[in-house]
């Protein structure tokens, strides 16, 4: 009986170690490489510039138009910094939006007024929450010091964008659930 309990304990320990190792490997595989981070940051930045322009053109409120202008300015500046870093580090940057982001921008272009505001603000909150998590991970775990520094320096601006979007969403009656609208899909 003692022997069977000992064997059971060994098997249980082995299973726990195997599970922990699998969890560790999964966590590592979901972490982006510097090149993947740069690609996603570049595509995301280009998409934000396009969405910012749409917000200025199609938004109904001053808050949305103002956020759009801020997104355009800040993401254009970040895109330029990223280009310089990529050139120095020998990293490749995408030159245009991928199909998924192009489709998302086209879907936003079909909206206007209150529908645009609602979808845009919800998207900005969700997207900036995700971006902040990715930039924090890169700032902490990135291998390339220049890319890591870019991520770290970008975080205050991304956090400010999130606060602005949350604030506009909170004070904009059109952006709540007043107008049912499907938010275009933005999967990164």
- CA–CA–CA angle 116, 120, 122 (5° rounding): 125
Place of tokens 């930039």: 135
- Residue 67 included in any domain: yes
Shared domain for 19 and 59, answered yes or no, is: no
In the chain, the number of structural domains is 2
Q: Kindly give, in sequence order, each residue whose CB lies less than 8 Å from that of residue 92, ignoring residues fewer than 6 positions away.
A: 35, 38, 39, 86
- Residue 187 included in any domain: no
Q: What is the pLDDT of residues 167-176, one digit of tens each?
A: 999 865 444 4
- Residue 105 included in any domain: yes
- Residue 183 included in any domain: no
Shared domain for 160 and 108, answered yes or no, is: yes
Six token digits for residue 120? 């845009």
Helix (H) / strand (E) element for 36: namely: helix 34-58
Q: What is the pLDDT of residues 99-149, one digit of tens each?
A: 999 999 999 999 999 999 999 999 999 999 999 999 999 999 999 999 999
The pLDDT of residue 171 is 66
Q: What is the pLDDT of residues 76-100, one digit of tens each?
A: 999 999 999 999 988 889 999 999 9
- Residue 135 included in any domain: yes
CB atoms near residue 109 (< 10 Å): 16
- Residue 184 included in any domain: no
DSSP 91-160: ----SS--HHHHHHHHHHHT--HHHHHHHHHHHHHHHHHHHHHHHHHHHHH-SSHHHHHHHHHHHHHHHH
Domain range for residue 104? 33-175
Shared domain for 99 and 13, answered yes or no, is: no
């Amino acid at each position: 009986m003692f022997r069977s309990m000992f064997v059971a304990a060994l098997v249980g320990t082995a299973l726990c170690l195997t599970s922990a190792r699998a969890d560790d490997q999964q966590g590592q595989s979901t972490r982006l490489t510097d090149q993947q981070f740069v690609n996603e940051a570049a595509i995301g930045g280009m998409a934000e510039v396009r969405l910012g322009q749409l917000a200025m053109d199609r938004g109904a409120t001053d808050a949305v138009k103002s956020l759009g202008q801020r997104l355009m300015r800040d993401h254009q500046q970040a895109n330029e910094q990223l280009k310089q870093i990529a050139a120095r580090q020998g990293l490749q940057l995408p030159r245009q939006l991928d199909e998924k982001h192009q489709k998302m921008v086209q879907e936003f272009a079909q909206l206007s007024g209150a529908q645009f505001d609602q979808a845009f603000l919800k998207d900005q909150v969700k997207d900036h929450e995700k971006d902040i998590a990715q930039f924090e991970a890169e700032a902490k775990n990135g291998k390339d010091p220049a890319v890591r520094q870019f991520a770290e320096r970008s975080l205050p601006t991304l956090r400010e964008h999130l606060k602005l979007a949350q604030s506009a969403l909170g004070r904009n009656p059109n952006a709540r659930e007043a107008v049912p609208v499907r938010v275009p899909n933005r999967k990164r």
